Amino acid sequence: MEKGESTRSVHAAMDPEQVTGSVQPPIFQTSTYVQEDFSVHKGYEYARSQNPTREALEKAMAELESPNSPATGICFSSGMAAITAVSQLLSSGDHIIACDDLYGGTVRLFDQVLARYGIETTYSKLSPGDLEKVAQQNTKVLWLESPTNPLLSIHDIKKLASQAKARGWIVVVDNTFASPVLQRPLDLGADIVLHSTTKYIGGHSDVVGGCVVIRDEQLIERLKFLQNAAGAIPGPFDCFLTLRGIRTLALRMERHCDNAEQITERLSKRAEVTRILYPGLASHPNHHVAASQMRRFGGMISIELEGGEMAARKFAAALKLFLTAESLGGVESLINHPWTMTHAAIPEQQRRDAGMTPGLVRLSVGIEDVEDLWTDIVQALQASSQ
Ligand SMILES: *Cc1c(COP(=O)(O)O)cnc(C)c1O
């Protein structure tokens, strides 16, 4: 029987170290390893290519994303470095189809970097029938986020993955918003699952990192090659911190979900709030899909306030526990203004087309006591309407 989420988080890649029996993996802070003779070594040559602390994190990520089938984790220095490595599977002349509500940095990479190398991206709402319309001869990848950032849209990963794979495309799912505790895209048919481990996985806003997890042997080989060839590896201390975060991942996710559910329910009764985007609400257009592919609905909420951008600014300024900052998924609550912060790099029309507005704020609900968070929100809502 599959073990529970908390047990798996605590025990992921927990192999006592050989020499001392150290329960947690030591930080192997080295750039190279001694060889007995030319090219005679213990499998460790140079730390860009191999590092035991990194391997422990990679194993843990694979165990979390794929508990029932063998898989491999491959870690990078940031989420964007992981995304860049995946994009390097493509060649000039290839085409990507991506959902239209995507992390701003991913859009910037696709449109301002990959485009210069002759790799073109089409963004789509991916509503039924859309895939046929945007498919091209040279399409190679379907790139999904679910829930999306910042609009918390839900894509039916299983359905889209099977349609894409029937055409021979590689299906990539950025699972940063859900974490493997809430959603496991490989089980839904994705080929590559990807994380900014900076967010929920690390969970303490003290480290930047990225990871992919893959089952397909050929893709594993190619991504491992790219990790070493392009070289955007995480340092051993960063890997240690990320693994330390993983120990409490399941526990934290439950609390993030508890708090976000409470807060959305209460927000839905407030006159100051005109729009609430949260996949856990029965009113969410794809709530049933979210319920079928996620264990729970996560800690991210986006809202619009009566009074638009001005109200949003007053709301953020009045909040005391929710800090105004980029990023998400840490123990502390954060508020973000996608229009001017995380998604500012996307051209305005593209933002509007995706459904983003200047009045939208995104909350990353932390693991504080929910009554304290709610008290903070109520006073800020009052301030926002004055
Ligand atoms: C933050 C984020 C990224 C980028 O990760 P970094 O670690 O900041 O490089 C990619 N995708 C999503 C959904 C994110 O939230």
The DSSP result for 213-254, as a single string, is EE--HHHHHHHHHHHHHH--PPPHHHHHHHHHHHTTHHHHHH
Which has more confidence, 380 or 101?
380
- Confidence grade of residue 372 (pLDDT, cut at 50, 70, 90): very high
Distance CA 151, CA 356 (A): 7
The residues that bridge with 74 in the sheet, in sequence order, are 212
State if residue 205 touches ligand 1 by the CB under 6 angstroms criterion.
no
Q: What is the CB-side half-sphere exposure of residue 191 using CA atoms within 13 A? A: 25
Question: Residues 266-277: pLDDT tens digits?
Answer: 999 999 999 999
User: Do 305 and 312 form a contact (C-beta atoms < 8 A)?
Assistant: yes
CA of 5 to the centre of ligand 1 (A): 23
Among 8, 100, 103, 351, which one carries the catalytic annotation? 103
- Confidence grade of residue 342 (pLDDT, cut at 50, 70, 90): confident
User: Do 167 and 135 form a contact (C-beta atoms < 8 A)?
Assistant: yes
Query: Cα–Cα distances in Å, from 243 out to 8, 146, 198, 240, 355?
Result: 12, 24, 11, 5, 36
What average pLDDT does this structure show over 26-30? 97
Instruction: Give per-residue burial for 271-310: e unless 16+ CB within 10 Å, then b.
Output: ebbeebbbbbbeebebbebbbebbbbbbbbbbbbbebebe
The answer to whether residue 345 scores a pLDDT higher than 90 is no
The answer to whether residue 343 scores a pLDDT higher than 90 is no
State if residue 139 touches ligand 1 by the CB under 6 angstroms criterion.
no
State if residue 199 touches ligand 1 by the CB under 6 angstroms criterion.
yes
State if residue 356 touches ligand 1 by the CB under 6 angstroms criterion.
no
Residue ranges of domains in the chain, CATH in brackets? 5-246 (3.40.640.10), 249-384 (3.90.1150.10)
Copy the structure tokens of residue 281.
């609400």
Residue nearest to atom 6 of ligand 1 (CA): 79
CA of 207 to the centre of ligand 1 (A): 12
Among 8, 59, 184, 199, which one carries the catalytic annotation? 199
Query: Cα–Cα distances in Å, from 168 out to 77, 137, 322?
Result: 30, 11, 44
What average pLDDT does this structure show over 145-173? 97
Among 33, 48, 224, 376, which one carries the catalytic annotation? 48
What average pLDDT does this structure show over 98-125? 95
Q: Is 123 a catalytic residue?
A: no
State if residue 76 touches ligand 1 by the CB under 6 angstroms criterion.
no
The minimum-distance atom of ligand 1 relative to the CA of 198 is 7
Give the chain's mean pLDDT.
96
The answer to whether residue 101 scores a pLDDT higher than 90 is no
Give the count of beta carbons closer than 10 Å to the beta carbon of residue 218.
8
Cα angle value 380/384/386 (rounded, 5°): 120
- Angle between helices 52-65 and 236-246 in degrees, nearest 10: 30
Distance CA 54, CA 73 (A): 10
Name residue, tokens 């009052």.
382
- Confidence grade of residue 386 (pLDDT, cut at 50, 70, 90): confident
State if residue 105 touches ligand 1 by the CB under 6 angstroms criterion.
yes
State if residue 342 touches ligand 1 by the CB under 6 angstroms criterion.
no
* Confidence (pLDDT) at 138: 98
Q: Give the strands of the sheet with 139-145, arranged side by side.
A: 72-76, 210-214, 192-196, 170-174, 139-145, 95-99, 120-124
What average pLDDT does this structure show over 291-302? 98
Radius of gyration of the CA atoms of the chain, in A? 21
Question: Residues 191-240: pLDDT tens digits?
Answer: 999 999 999 999 999 999 999 999 999 999 999 999 999 999 999 999 99
**Spatial CA neighbour of 50 closest among 187, 184, 239:** 239
- Confidence grade of residue 90 (pLDDT, cut at 50, 70, 90): very high
* Confidence (pLDDT) at 304: 95
The residues that bridge with 362 in the sheet, in sequence order, are 302, 336
Q: Is 199 a catalytic residue?
A: yes
* Confidence (pLDDT) at 1: 75
Q: Is 48 a catalytic residue?
A: yes
Copy the structure tokens of residue 30.
């080295």
